[in-house]
Amino acid sequence: MLMGGIVLAVGLIAPWYYRTEGEKRYSMSAIGGSLIDKFGNEFFNPLTAYISLCFALVSALFPFVSAKFSEATQRRYVAIVSCFAGICALMNIMYIHSWLSWADPDTPFICYDSEVSCGPLIGYFFTWAAMALLFASTYFSRGLPQTPAKAES
């Protein structure tokens, strides 16, 4: 969970996407950037990034704060916090994809042409990795309620 929170925080701040048009280069992160200014920032809402950043910080700091909890309580809260942080990371990825498809519907997500090239950057991949780490932390913590298998008669 600690690594997932750190990777998510870095992934949200790092550049996510770039677009090059001739000599001009635009980029964006989950929080904003020059590509958003190019297409009109009145339709971009960084609220999902700020919510995700809050959950990333909570999930990075929680292992240090939860040292005084009992093991069962600690596992339960690790599962809850890491699950919400993973959902927030997924929410950010989906929001950026939907915003890009709205802002420039004719351009695919990855394109290399003589005039226009675009594609993902390191922050995008960090966010995917953070989401995988956080959901794995949720699963391996075994803090979510488990339903017992029914015995066969």
Q: Answer whether residue 124 is part of any domain.
A: yes
pLDDT tens digit string along 29-77?
888 888 888 887 778 888 888 988 898 898 888 888 877 888 888 888 8
CATH number of residue 11's parent domain: 1.20.140.150
Whether residue 149 is predicted with pLDDT greater than 80 in this model: the reply is no
In Å, how far are 2, 11, 42, 59, 106 from 38, measured between CA atoms?
36, 22, 11, 34, 16
* Residue 146: inside a domain: no
User: Per-residue pLDDT tens for 36-45?
Assistant: 888 877 788 8
Residue 95: inside a domain, yes or no?
yes
Total structural domains within the chain: 1
The pLDDT tens digits for 93-137 are: 999 988 888 888 888 888 888 788 888 999 999 999 999 998 898
**Residue 128, domain extent:** 2-141
Q: In this structure, is residue 150 part of a structural domain? A: no
Q: Determine, yes or no, domain membership for 21.
A: yes
Question: Is 65 part of any domain?
Answer: yes
